[in-house]
Structure 1
Amino acid sequence: MINRLLSLLVIAWALGFVWFAVALPQPAGDEHTDAIVVPTGAEGRIPHGLALLRAGRAERMLVTGVDIEVRPAEFMAEYGVERQLMDCCITLGFSALDTRGNARETADWMAQNRFTSLRLVTSDWHMRRTAVELASRLPATVTVLRDAVPTQPSFITLVREYHKLLAAWLLSLV
């Protein structure tokens, strides 16, 4: 009996991993949201968020999980951000250290600004876990548009992220 249960768990894990690795989330369309939220991390996230902000897909952008050593002027220089855009529309969030912290920081920022919709910009392999963490902290009235940045993740990255997703999902059930 125990061998059958273990076999069933292994099969479920393997099928789930295949789904996770083969069906990575995709970029979103041109929909408008109140805000854009970009967790720091893999390449391409912040430039994509800035391009969306400049294209008018949202009024404001939060970059969550910024290192406390980074200053706005350094951010502006690194990403070619104009002073006017930085002053009006971009918030650098310094309190998050991980994906859970990104979700907390995002939920606080959304509530402070009374936003009801956000475009989540993160790597395709990171999107599902980030969305799970956000869903556990945002009110059900907040709409989240998932906008994945396409990547070429390694097998190891996919395995690690799949396990982190499973853990986040299990914790969300508690």
Structure 2
Amino acid sequence: MFRRLTASVVLIWALGFVWFAVALPGPLPGTVRTDAIIVLTGSRGRIEHAIDVLARGKSPAVLVSGVDREVRPREFAAQFKVPPQLMRCCVTLGYRAYDTRSNAVEAAQWVAEHEAKSVRLVTADWHMRRAALEIARALPADVRLELDGVPSHPSFSILFLEYHKLLARHALNLWERFR
């Protein structure tokens, strides 16, 4: 009995990991419009993609969540080639977040201030599921969250760690719900 249960748990874990690693969330179609963009700092391509979506007029505003406190708007604009008028009107640098959970808090506050009802979440494909879980929990229920995964080539170790972080977050959610 114990061996069967253990084997079943290991099999479910392994199949879950294969699904997690193979079916990474991809980019949104270019036609999707939202009231706002939330982009989480981190791996390459995230901020560039969000600024491109903003510049193409698919959303009127972007929050870059998790910016280092030493980065100034002028430096940010130069690094990511953001035109001054776009930087002034439409880009908010969020300095309060330091991890995915604090990204969610920062994003929810910004979304409420901007009264957005639809949000495009931009992050790396391997990070998307956990980021979406955290942000969806923090946002009001009437806000539609669109997932825009930036394609990457994550290593096995990144996928392995992120899969376990996602499992841990789901377990914590269950614990909070039933205690």
User: Paired residue for 1:131?
Assistant: 132
| TM-score, normalised by the number of residues in structure 1 | 0.97
Task: Say whether residues 1:13 and 2:13 are aligned partners.
Answer: yes
User: Paired residue for 2:161?
Assistant: 160
Task: Say whether residues 1:56 and 2:33 are aligned partners.
Answer: no
Quote the offset at 1:72 in angstroms: 0.5
Quote the offset at 1:168 in angstroms: 1.5
CA separation in 2, counterparts of 1:32 and 1:44? Answer: 20
CA separation in 1, counterparts of 2:55 and 2:156? Answer: 34
CA separation in 1, counterparts of 2:82 and 2:173? Answer: 37
C-alpha contact 1:132 1:172 (8 A) present in aligned 2? no
User: Paired residue for 2:72?
Assistant: 71
Deviations 1:89-135 (A, max 9, x none): 00000000001111110001001111111001111101000011011
Give secondary structure in 1 for the equivalent of 2:86.
helix
CA separation in 1, counterparts of 2:170 and 2:139? Answer: 15
CA separation in 2, counterparts of 1:165 and 1:94? Answer: 24
Kindly report structure 1 stretches of 4+ aligned residues shifted beyond 3 Å.
Answer: none
CA separation in 2, counterparts of 1:159 and 1:104? Answer: 26
CA separation in 2, counterparts of 1:111 and 1:60? Answer: 13
CA separation in 2, counterparts of 1:146 and 1:75? Answer: 24
C-alpha contact 1:136 1:172 (8 A) present in aligned 2? no
Q: Which runs of 5+ in 1 are unaligned?
A: none
Task: Say whether residues 1:25 and 2:25 are aligned partners.
Answer: yes
Quote the offset at 1:9 in angstroms: 1.3
User: Paired residue for 1:34?
Assistant: 35
Residue type at the aligned position of 1:8 = S
CA separation in 2, counterparts of 1:2 and 1:111? Answer: 49
Give secondary structure in 2 for the equivalent of 1:136.
helix
Over aligned residues, Cα RMSD in angstroms?
0.9
User: Paired residue for 1:98?
Assistant: 99
Quote the offset at 1:83 in angstroms: 1.3
Deviations 1:5-54 (A, max 9, x none): 22221111101000001111111012110001100000000000000000
Q: Which runs of 5+ in 2 are unaligned?
A: none
Quote the offset at 1:3 in angstroms: 2.7
